[in-house]
Amino acid sequence: MKALCLSLLFASTLGASAALLDSPQKGGLQLQSLSSLSFGPEGLLLVAEPASASVLAIQTGDTGKKERLEKPVADIGAQIAAGLGAKKEDITVKDLAVNPASGRIYLGVQRRPDNAVLIVSVGSDGKVVPLNLEPLSWVRVALPGGTASKVTNITDVAFDKDRVFATGTCNEEFASRIFTIPVPIKNGATASVFSAETYHVAHRKWETKAPIQSFVPYDTKDGTYVVGAFACTPVAKFNVDDIQSGAQVKGVSMVELGSGNRPLDLFSYTDKSGKEWLVVHTQRFKQNAFGPSKMWGARISMDYLDAKAPDKTNENAARRDEKEHDGPQGIEIVDALFGAVQVDKLSDAEAVVLRDTDGTLSLEVAALP
């Protein structure tokens, strides 16, 4: 009876996994480039591949027992290099993602001098294991540029219920793009594309060229939004319900974190009191006015994103006080993100952080406020 129950459970898991991909291929997958990693349900790994202007969906099968990194890995770069037959200085970590189905950490890396793009995973014991793509099922979706343009970059990718979102740029005037891919995900040109226009609070003007650097899907009773952060750093929301491919989507800027910053990662979480927060992890490319590192992060109350009054958006969006730790109310620095080069949510209480300390990368689990 126990064996029968396990068999039924395994069959159910396979069925749920298979439903995410339509007519997948198996074997023969080689990554040409990598700009972003994220996970959907059932261990589904999403890879943004700018070189081919496409998004890959890979069924990892990683849906086992939940795990958590037991202790910090002091020199993760050296371990990655050893596992890939390279020198530490020849390894670049492109992105980090936590698989919510298992808690296992995945890193997209580039190895020199052959410029190979590879994915490794890190288990609870801190050991690095290269991901063997050969036995895995996968599909590749080409992203459309437009009637007379091509995709020049893909900045982020994320799963949201019955579709996948991606963001990037094309080589035309309305360059900023949002892409959607229906689920189950199928090989080929199955994506839709929208042009995105955003009010950049620091510049006091509407812009169409600056891409969404990082985003999260955000579902409310009023509809589904893509909430994205841009360089210099407006946080804006775009309603993506009931729009046709090729249409222009006008965003609403809700918060301004300050000019001179480039967003790297976004995620949302709910704290112990039940309050919802959006975390924006960013890199300062101007002189620091606060904190010990150019890599930093802030959390923003979701109340700002839910604001409907027009006088609280765009040119009147809330502005973070760049010379203070907190303020205005509901915008706070997250101290655990100083020095972080990559970050992803592990749970509503913790995040996985790849931290740079004097040129050495460490991997650790950090508490969320």
Q: What is the pLDDT of residues 51-91, one digit of tens each?
A: 999 999 999 999 988 999 999 999 999 999 999 999 999 99
Query: Does the structure show a pLDDT above 80 at 3?
Result: no
Counting every residue written for the chain, the total comes to 369
Report the distance separating Cα 183 and Cα 136, nearest Å.
18
Q: Look at residue 147 and tell me whether its pLDDT is greater than 90.
A: no
Take residue 325 and report the two structure tokens written for it.
Answer: 């730790």
Residue 15, token pair as written in the block? 């069925």
- Check: CB of residue 178 under 8 Å from CB of residue 238: yes
CA distance 301 to 274: 12
C-alpha angle 38/356/129, rounded to 5°? 50
Which sign does the torsion angle of CA 363, 115, 61, 265 carry?
positive
Give the Cα separation of 244 and 42 in Å (integer): 29
346: tokens are 């592990």
H or E stretch at 307: none
- The whole-number pLDDT of residue 13 equals 41
pLDDT value, residue 302: 95
Helix (H) or strand (E) holding 199: strand 192-200
Instruction: Give the contacts of 223 (CB within 8 A, at least 6 positions apart).
Output: 239, 240, 241
CB of 363 within 8 A of CB of 73?
yes
Q: Which of 125, 159, 107, 33 is nearest to 342 (CA)?
A: 107
Q: Give one DSSP letter per residue of 134-186, joined into a string.
A: TT-EEEEEEPP--SS--EEEEEEEEEETTEEEEEEEESSSS-EEEEEEESSEE
Residue 72 pLDDT: 97
The per-residue pLDDT for range 182-213, each reduced to its tens digit, is 999 999 989 999 999 898 888 888 888 888 99
For residues 35-43, give the mean pLDDT.
98
At 335, the amino acid letter reads: D
Q: How confident is the model at residue 17 (pLDDT cuts 50, 70, 90)?
A: low
- Name which residue leads in pLDDT, 318 or 174: 318
Place of tokens 């812009």: 207
For residue 182, report the phi and psi dihedrals to the nearest 5 degrees. -70, 150
pLDDT reading at 31 higher than 60: yes
Is the predicted pLDDT of residue 10 greater than 60, yes or no? no
Kindly indicate the confidence band of residue 18, based on its pLDDT and cuts at 50, 70 and 90. Answer: low
pLDDT at 232 over 90: no
To 5 degrees, how large is the angle CA 81–CA 86–CA 90?
A: 85
At residue 41, the pLDDT reads 97
**pLDDT value for 288:** 64
Q: How confident is the model at residue 15 (pLDDT cuts 50, 70, 90)?
A: very low
Phi, psi (deg, nearest 5) at residue 197: -115, 135
Q: What is the average per-residue pLDDT within 232-256?
A: 90
CA distance 105 to 217: 21
| Distance (Å, whole) CA 9 – CA 5 | 6
Give how far Cα 229 sits from Cα of 55, 71, 200, 296, 304, Å. Answer: 20, 31, 10, 14, 14
pLDDT band for 50, please (50, 70, 90 cuts): very high
Is residue 107 within 8 Å of 126, Cβ to Cβ?
Answer: no
Helix (H, G, I), strand (E, B) or coil at 249: strand
The first and second tokens of residue 58, run together, are: 């890979």
pLDDT, residue 8, reads: 35
Confidence of residue 11 (pLDDT cuts 50, 70, 90): very low
Dihedral over Cα of 166, 107, 90, 135: its sign: negative
Q: Which of 39-43, 71-75, 141-145, 202-206 shows the lowest mean pLDDT across its residues?
A: 202-206
* Helical segments of the chain, H only: 2-18, 76-83, 302-306
Structure tokens that stand for 113 in this block: 């001098």
Counting beta carbons within 10 angstroms of the beta carbon of residue 191, is it exposed (0 to 12), middle (13 to 18) or buried (19 or more)? buried
- Bridge pairing between strands 252-256 and 234-239: antiparallel
More confident residue, 285 or 340: 340
